[in-house]
Amino acid sequence: MAYETIITETRGKVGLVTLNRSKALNALNLQLLAELVVAVKDFDADAGIGAMVITGSDKAFAAGADIKEMQAISFADAYLQDLFVGWEDLTRVRKPVIAAVAGYALGGGCELAMMCDFIIAADTAKFGQPEITLGVIPGMGGSQRLTRFVGKSKAMDMCLTGRMMDAAEAERSGLVSRVVPAAELVEEAVKAAAKIADFSLPSVMMAKETVNRSFETTLAEGLRFERRLFHSLFALEDQKEGMAAFAEKRKPNFANR
Ligand code: CO8
C-alpha cells in the first residue's frame, strides 16, 4: 500500500514507521490513523519482522490529534462514530512496538507513545496533555495510561495545567524507559528492537502479553497467568536451546525467531 502520511521501512527484522506530516508537526489526522494501523498490522503479520519502532521527526513525534480536522466535529458525529476508537487497534498488536520520541509528544502524540510497549526518548523530547487548553480532555488514553505510568499527582498536574514535561522528568517519573542523545534516537530504538527480534518470538510475545495483563487484573490472577505462560514455554525447543546454550557458553540459536 502506498502511504501519504507515514513512511515504512524494514531494518533487518525491525519494522520502522516514521510519521510523515512534519509540516503539521505530525498532527494525527484520520488518514494518518488509518495508514498507521494498516502498517503496524502488516508488520505484525509479517513473519520476517520481530519488533517495530514508531518515530516522528526531530521537532515532533506528534503534536496531538489534528485540531483543524477536529474543530468542526459535532457531539453527534463524535459519539455516533465513536471518534478515535480506531486507535485502540494499535494496542492489539502482538509483537513489541517501541516509540522513539524526539521533540513534542503532546495530546494524542503522548497517548500514541503510551500505546506502544515502551518509550525511548531523545533528550529533546517534551511530553504533555494540553487538551485542557483547547476546552477538552485527553481522548485516547491520556487520563488512564498516563496515570498508570506516573501516578495520580503528576497525571493530574499534566492533565489539569496542560504543562509539558521534559525528557529528564519523563525518565524520572517512569514515563520513558531511557533517554538518549537526539542524534542517536532512531538508531538506539532500532538496536533495541533488533535485540528483541533476535530472541524467541513466542517468549517475546508472552512477555509482552503478561506485562500488559498486569494492568488488567489482580496480582493473584496476574501471577497465575504469568506462571502458566512460563510453564507453556517448556513445550518449545527454544527453551531447550536457550538453556543448553547457557550451559555450553555459546549464543543460542532460537528456531522460532
Ligand atoms: N493539529 C493541527 N495542526 C497542528 C497541530 C495540531 N495538534 N500542532 C501543530 N500544528 C500545525 C500548526 O497549526 C502549524 O501549521 P501552519 O504552519 O499551517 O500554521 C504547524 O503545525 C507548525 O506549528 P506551530 O507554528 O504552532 O509551531 P511552534 O513551534 O510555534 O509550536 C507547538 C509548537 C507548541 C507544539 C504548537 O504547535 C502547539 O501547541 N500545537 C498544539 C498542541 C496541542 O494542543 N495538542 C493537543 C491536541 S488535542 C488532542 O490531541 C486530543 C487527543 C484526543 C484524541 C486523540 C486522537 C488522535
For residues 73-86, average pLDDT:
94
Question: Catalytic residues, which ones?
Answer: 65, 108, 111, 131
pLDDT of 257 strictly over 90: no
Dist CA 58 CA 131 (whole Å): 22
Question: Which three cell numbers mark 207?
Answer: 512477555
Closest C-alpha to 42, from 4, 9, 83: 9
Q: What are the pLDDT digits (tens) for 191-233? A: 999 999 999 999 999 999 999 999 999 999 999 999 999 999 9
Handedness of CA 90, 31, 189, 14 (dihedral sign): positive
Closest CA to 98 of 21, 199, 14: 14
Answer for the pair 101, 121: CB distance below 8 angstroms, yes or no.
yes
pTM of the model: 0.96
Instruction: Strands of 63-205 (E only): list them.
Output: 97-101, 104-106, 118-122, 126-128, 164-166, 178-180
Q: How many other CB atoms sit within 10 Å of the CB of residue 220?
A: 8
d(CA 190, CA 75): 41
Which cell is 143 given? 487520563
pLDDT of res. 44:
98
Q: Three-class SS of residue 160?
A: helix
Residue whose CA is closest, atom 13 of ligand 1? 24
Q: Which residues surround ligand 1 with Cβ inside 6 Å?
A: 24-25, 27-28, 63-68, 84, 87, 104, 106-108, 130-131, 134, 138-140
**Residue whose CA is at the smallest distance from ligand 1 atom 41:** 63
Q: Which atom of ligand 1 is nearest to the CA of 59?
A: 29
Cell of 49: 519482522
How many DSSP H helices and E strands does the chain contain?
Answer: 11, 10
Q: DSSP string covering 72-99, please?
A: T--HHHHHHTTTTGGGGGGGG--S-EEE
pLDDT, position 77: 95
Residue 183 has pLDDT above 80, yes or no: yes
Please give the angle made by the CA atoms of 145, 50 and 217, to the nearest 5 degrees. 35
